[in-house]
Amino acid sequence: MAIFHFTVKIVGRSKGKSVISASAYLNGDVMKNEETGRISYYTSKKEVVYTSLMMCENAPPEWLHVPEENIKRFQQSIRYKRADDKDAALEKFKITFQKQRLWNEVLKIEKNADAQLGRSFEFSLPKEWSRQEQIDYTTEYIQKTFVDKGMCVDWSIHDKGDGNPHVHLLVTMRPFNLDHSWGSKEVKDWDFVRDTDGNIVVDESHPDWWQDKKNPDRHGIRIPVLDENGVQKVGARNRKQWKRVLTDATGWNNPKNCELWRSEWAGMCNRHLSIDNQIDHRSYERQGKLKIPTIHEGADARKIEEKYLTGQIWNGSWKVEENQMIKKQNALLQKVITTFGKVSGALSIWKEWLNDIRRKQRSNSHDGSNDYTDRGTAEYHGRDASGNTGKGREADVLSGEGRTIAAIRERIIRRRIETICKT
């Protein structure tokens, strides 16, 4: 059965992360950080079954060029000579070289100590798909979601054969200009008055209302810069000063994007999965399910658990242990829900049975108050022993059905009265 797992993280300088090392891990290869001279080795990772680099339209085309001297040097290496498929090894080398060029160019432009270098994604692939389907559908999703919007994407598929195929992505965070140069992540704009939901207040009658003549969609009520006396400050050229803020130039950092990316991937999966294997990107709580979510274990936790099970270490992974406990609790919770469902069904049947008994009791009261005034001694269809109808009554061929309909009508009226009383 397909499962949903989708995480998004930021690779930044402030946390000491290396985007070159992250890319080398993603590709299971060797990469050099030209800024520090450090080389990251991940050639022992054998689970990388596919790797690709997708460049946006405005990215510099020369970054995809691999010098001939680098190709000749690789062909003389032991890795190339030992490779079973030399053409595939050479192709992977070219892709890795292009990725190394991309992320070293990112390091050249992102110099600040708190600079964000790239956005990292990890999401699971349905086991129901073939390898080619995994590649095709992931490529389609990446092209539509990221590349068409101006981002470059470094991605790979990892699969150890343990039933957990997944995708790793590294996405650029700075846009490109039309001339293939780096653009700006943030731009200065007026600080407009906003409502409690964060939306710009629209009031053209306000004295501080402003609208861009070239771009009418850029408008709002500007906020003045005040001095200590509460008077608006004036600049050197006798111009009024207004508050300005840095805004996201691309909209890629909008917190709502994460939900959008998750839902689009879930939609891609569901379009190519059977009805029985549909997935949902929402949490159990949002789905209305009484179920405890498990935590993400990761490769390291599974390695620790494997060593623990084989007796190499004394303690296992706390994440694996936590998930085992959660699964037991969910199984118990499901039993409780099933039991309550059965009890609720039994109570409904019992209630209907009691209502039927009460209706029968009311139709034949002990004091005759609910009896017909001239009911006679009828047996079948209201007829007496002689075959004649009771006094004052006409024979009803459908009297049995009539009584059933009357009972149903009475039941409906009673339920309506009970509903009105409750409300």
188: left (phi over 0), alpha (psi -120 to 50) or beta: beta
pLDDT at 406: 66
Judged against a pLDDT cut of 90, whether residue 162 lies above it is answered with no
Q: What are phi and psi of 93, to 5 degrees?
A: -60, -40
Kindly state the average pLDDT of the residues 6-12.
Answer: 93
Please state, in angstroms and rounded to a whole number, the distance separating the CA atoms of residues 194 and 214: 22
Q: Minimal CA–CA distance to 43: which of 81, 88, 96?
A: 96
**By the 8 A CB rule, do 37 and 156 touch?**
no
Question: Lowest mean pLDDT: which of 73-77, 125-129, 148-152, 394-398?
Answer: 394-398
pLDDT tens profile 306-353: 888 888 888 888 888 888 888 888 888 888 878 877 777 777 887 787
More confident residue, 383 or 354: 354
Kindly state the average pLDDT of the residues 62-83.
Answer: 93
pLDDT tens profile 171-216: 999 999 999 999 999 888 888 999 988 889 999 999 999 998 888 8
Q: Minimal CA–CA distance to 156: which of 97, 96, 80, 104?
A: 96
Q: What are phi and psi of 234, to 5 degrees?
A: -125, 135
Tell me, what DSSP letter sits at residue 195?
Answer: -
Q: What is the CA radius of gyration of the chain?
A: 36
Judged against a pLDDT cut of 80, whether residue 417 lies above it is answered with no
pLDDT at 395: 44
pLDDT at 32: 95
pTM value?
0.67
Kindly state the average pLDDT of the residues 381-393.
Answer: 45
pLDDT at 101: 97
Please state, in angstroms and rounded to a whole number, the distance separating the CA atoms of residues 45 and 327: 31
Judged against a pLDDT cut of 50, whether residue 13 lies above it is answered with yes
User: What is the band of 245 on the pLDDT scale with cuts at 50, 70, 90?
Assistant: confident
Q: Which residues, in sequence order, are bridge partners of residue 8? A: 121
**β strands within 147-274, DSSP E:** 153-158, 166-171, 186-190, 209-211, 219-221, 244-248
Average pLDDT over the chain reads 84
More confident residue, 403 or 305: 305
CA distance to 93, 273, 322, 357, per residue, from 133 (Å)? 24, 11, 34, 62
More confident residue, 348 or 102: 102
Please state, in angstroms and rounded to a whole number, the distance separating the CA atoms of residues 19 and 24: 9
User: What is the band of 420 on the pLDDT scale with cuts at 50, 70, 90?
Assistant: low
Judged against a pLDDT cut of 60, whether residue 382 lies above it is answered with no
Alpha carbon 384 to chain centroid, angstroms: 73
Through-space distance between the first and last CA atoms of the chain, rounded to whole angstroms: 44
CA distance to 135, 247, 268, 281, 352, per residue, from 271 (Å)? 15, 36, 5, 14, 44
Kindly state the average pLDDT of the residues 100-124.
Answer: 95
**By the 8 A CB rule, do 175 and 183 touch?**
yes
Judged against a pLDDT cut of 90, whether residue 296 lies above it is answered with no
- Give, to the nearest 10 degrees, the angle between helix 131-145 and helix 256-271: 140
**By the 8 A CB rule, do 243 and 230 touch?**
no
More confident residue, 230 or 303: 230
Residue whose entry in the numeric block shows the structure tokens 């906020």: 223
Kindly state the average pLDDT of the residues 350-361.
Answer: 72
